[in-house]
Amino acid sequence: MKTIAIDFETANEQRGSACSVGLAWIEDGRVTRVEERLIRPRQMRFSGMNIAIHGIRPEHVEDAPEFPEVMDEFEEDFRGATMIAHNAAFDFSVWRASLDLYRQSYPELTYLCSLKMAQRIWPHFLSHRLNLLAEHLGLRFVHHNAAEDAAVCAAAAIEMARAVQAHAVHAIPTLIGMKPGRLTAQAYEPCTCRKG
């Protein structure tokens, strides 16, 4: 079972303005591959606030491919994979809004939210933000770099699997009362946790 962590950065407040994507593959309890791609947003409108967060400027992406071409490169990787993102509601809304913008259908996949998982598995942490989770786990990274965020999300998920004695990351939900999210050609179902 393939598990891939994903993280998007956006050019502005619109969810369909992805300007970079990071991916980290989890196999046999370790991160085996990390990729980052810059994306040229269709509208090329960058807000100062977003630039301040991730440092990506229009000139960095002017020669980059647009969203469909970037994501098509990983189409085979996504097929049958369990995806994971930290605050998946954001990343999957970016993915969906970008596909909607280009009038493309959604891929068929299952996904998990590592933020919800961390809140359930480590309720005593004061915060479950990715940078503080990384600090707690002794992981060093550049926050808001899509590849590094994806890699830390993946590493944190591996630690969570160990914490609940799951044989793999994709097995965590059944142990913590989580219902994985689903993306299908027809619909979107959010990732949720049972109360209590």
Torsion of CA 141, 157, 193, 82, to 10 degrees: 110
Give tens-digit pLDDT for 94-139. Answer: 999 999 999 999 999 999 999 999 999 999 999 999 999 999 889 8
In the structure encoding, which two tokens stand for residue 120, read together? 């359930």
pLDDT at position 143 over 90: no
Give tens-digit pLDDT for 55-88. Answer: 999 999 999 999 999 999 999 999 989 999 999 9
pLDDT at position 196 over 70: no
Do the Cβ atoms of 3 and 82 come closer than 8 Å? yes
Question: Under DSSP, is residue 113 helix (H, G, I), strand (E, B) or coil?
Answer: strand
Give tens-digit pLDDT for 166-193. Answer: 999 999 999 999 999 999 887 899 999 9
Strands 181-183 and 188-189: antiparallel
pLDDT at 185: 86
In the structure encoding, which two tokens stand for residue 154, read together? 């993946």
Strands 188-189 and 18-27: unpaired
Question: Under DSSP, is residue 32 helix (H, G, I), strand (E, B) or coil?
Answer: strand
Comparing CA positions, the residue from 158, 196, 157, 163 lying closest to residue 177 is: 196
Residue 43 burial (CB count, 10 A)? 12
In the structure encoding, which two tokens stand for residue 98, read together? 């970008």
Q: What is the pTM of this model?
A: 0.96
In percent, the amount of the chain with pLDDT more than 90 equals 88
Residue 13 burial (CB count, 10 A)? 10
Question: Under DSSP, is residue 20 helix (H, G, I), strand (E, B) or coil?
Answer: strand
How far is the C-alpha of 34 from the C-alpha of 26, rounded, in Å?
9
User: Among all chains, which residue has been given the structure tokens 């770099």?
Assistant: 145
Which domains are present in the chain? 3-193 (3.30.420.10)
